[in-house]
Copies of this chain bind each other. A is one copy, B any other.
Amino acid sequence: GAAARAWAWLLARVAMVWSTVAGSARKVWRIGADDPRKAVHGLKVGLSLALVSVFYYTRPLYDGVGGAAMWAIMTVVVVFEYTVGGSVYKSFNRAVATASAGVLALGVHWVAGKTGELEPYILTGSLFLLAAAATFSRFIPTVKARFDYGVTIFILTYSLVAVSGYRVDQLAALAQQRVSTIAIGIFMCLAVSVFICPVWAGQELHLLTTRNMDKLADALEACVDDYFAEDPAARPAQAKSDGYKCVLNSKASEDAQANLARWEPAHGRFAFRHPYTQYGKVGAAMRACAYCVEALSSCAGAEVQAPEHVKRLLHDACARVGARCARVLREASRSVATMKSYSALDFAVADMNTAVHELQGDMRSLPSMLAVKLADTSLMDTMPVFTVASLLVEISARVEAVVDSVDALAT
């Protein structure tokens, strides 16, 4: 009856909610399983906060830094970032901005104190002007890239000190306390982030570049195979030929990581002033290459296709160019990965150029080949294949540009 229906409805509801929850849980689990360092990062943040709070419970130390221990916790929460570069960037910005804004505010406070009645006007006016100027400075690209967080902290510290009702000597004691707690927070944060499973932005950028280069090589080969595959079932997996899309969309993360990497100390094979900006140029060269691969992959899906027997005429030459371009990219990726220049890379480039010359020769001799072998085929039918071949020639030129940028990185 009605009770049974209601019960069934309830069961269905519960099952639905359960499957939604289980689905999300599986997704979240995948994020952690794919990159356990993300889960470790969570534990690291928990650990540093627990350390700071233990510090806070220990009486003798507590008496030393006073009630301002709050600032140590705040510092850890806002400064701790996924990469070491991010943590250093925020720590440096926080320390320098707090110190400079504090000193400036104390000075203005002292001057304003001498003027007597005008004090609130001077303080509020200077707050208005400084906040406006500092906020506007965030639109300057260099400031935005390197000191964005520092500007926020500068405004914050200046406002807190400027509007506080304390006398200057009280403020100086407060400032000294504040500086020591922030230093404790920063120290804890950097120690945990550098010594426990560190994630270096420089290394991430490095890995991203080599991984993208390998993906681009795979995608290039897959697209050529895809175009010439006679049997649709024999086509390579879509996932492989879609690899170039990662390259197309990686500009933002490359820029962000290059920005953070510049703050990192020397680590592993990365010196303090490793030429991180050069990775951006390699990335730009790879993207230029990926644009062409995109055009190539759209040829494989185009409506108007050359007949199979015409495709077969250029199949070998095109496949060779595709394979050699991919080999050059893989060698370049190995050169970036190991930070060495190999003669194998030069050989691969020479091989690629030979293959391109052969392809161009085949393209030139196409009309005579057609006249001999396939008299019934119009030359116009060969046009789509010709487009693919000329895209491959353009791609090889862009692959060479990638190699040039990689060489600049290696030296």
Show the binding face of A for B, using Cβ within 8 Å: 27-28, 31-32, 38-39, 41-43, 45-47, 49-50, 53-54, 56-57, 69-70, 73-74, 77-78, 80, 120, 123-125, 127-137, 139-140, 152, 155-156, 159-160, 162-164, 248-249, 251-252, 287-288, 291-292, 294-295, 298, 302, 363-364, 366-367, 378-380, 383-384, 386-387, 390-391, 394
B140 touches A53 (CB 8 A): no
Q: How far is the CB of A19 from chain B (nearest CB, A)?
A: 18
B295 touches A45 (CB 8 A): no
A73 touches B28 (CB 8 A): no
Q: How far is the CB of A156 from chain B (nearest CB, A)?
A: 5
**Bound state CA distance, A379 and B381, in angstroms?**
13
Q: Is the interface of A mostly helix, strand, loop or mixed?
A: helix
B39, B77, B384: the one within 8 Å of A156 (CB): B77
**Who on chain B is nearest to A159 by CB?**
B73
Name 17 extra pairs, CB < 8 A, besides A39-B136, A50-B128.
A31-B139, A32-B136, A41-B136, A42-B132, A46-B127, A46-B135, A49-B127, A49-B128, A50-B131, A54-B124, A78-B156, A292-B295, A295-B394, A363-B383, A364-B380, A366-B380, A386-B386
Measured between beta carbons, the chain B residues less than 8 angstroms from A41 are 135-136
B46, B294, B390: the one within 8 Å of A131 (CB): B46
Measured between beta carbons, the chain B residues less than 8 angstroms from A53 are 123-124, 127, 159, 162-163
Measured between beta carbons, the chain B residues less than 8 angstroms from A379 are 367, 379
A28 touches B140 (CB 8 A): yes
**Bound state CA distance, A129 and B39, in angstroms?**
12
B380 touches A50 (CB 8 A): no
Q: How far is the CB of A188 from chain B (nearest CB, A)?
A: 13
Instruction: Pull 5 A–B residue pairs with CB atoms less than 8 Å apart, ordered by A.
Output: A38-B139, A53-B127, A53-B163, A248-B287, A383-B390
**Bound state CA distance, A133 and B49, in angstroms?**
13
Measured between beta carbons, the chain B residues less than 8 angstroms from A50 are 124-125, 127-128, 131
A378 touches B367 (CB 8 A): yes
**Bound state CA distance, A391 and B294, in angstroms?**
12
A46 touches B129 (CB 8 A): yes
Q: Given A386-B387, A387-B386, answer yes or no on A298-B42 (Cβ-Cβ < 8 Å).
A: no
B124 touches A74 (CB 8 A): no
Measured between beta carbons, the chain B residues less than 8 angstroms from A128 are 46-47, 49-50
**Bound state CA distance, A397 and B216, in angstroms?**
25
**Bound state CA distance, A229 and B302, in angstroms?**
29
Q: Given A73-B159, A159-B73, A367-B380, answer yes or no on A298-B394 (Cβ-Cβ < 8 Å).
A: yes
Q: How far is the CB of A371 from chain B (nearest CB, A)?
A: 11
Find the residue from A31, A137, A291 having the highest chain B CB count within 10 A. Answer: A291
**Who on chain B is nearest to A62 by CB?**
B165
Q: How far is the CB of A253 from chain B (nearest CB, A)?
A: 9
Measured between beta carbons, the chain B residues less than 8 angstroms from A384 are 390
Find the residue from A38, A47, A298 having the highest chain B CB count within 10 A. Answer: A298
Q: Given A78-B152, A394-B295, answer yes or no on A135-B42 (Cβ-Cβ < 8 Å).
A: yes
**Who on chain B is nearest to A70 by CB?**
B160
Measured between beta carbons, the chain B residues less than 8 angstroms from A252 are 251-252
**Bound state CA distance, A245 and B373, in angstroms?**
45
A159 touches B386 (CB 8 A): no
**Bound state CA distance, A156 and B80, in angstroms?**
12
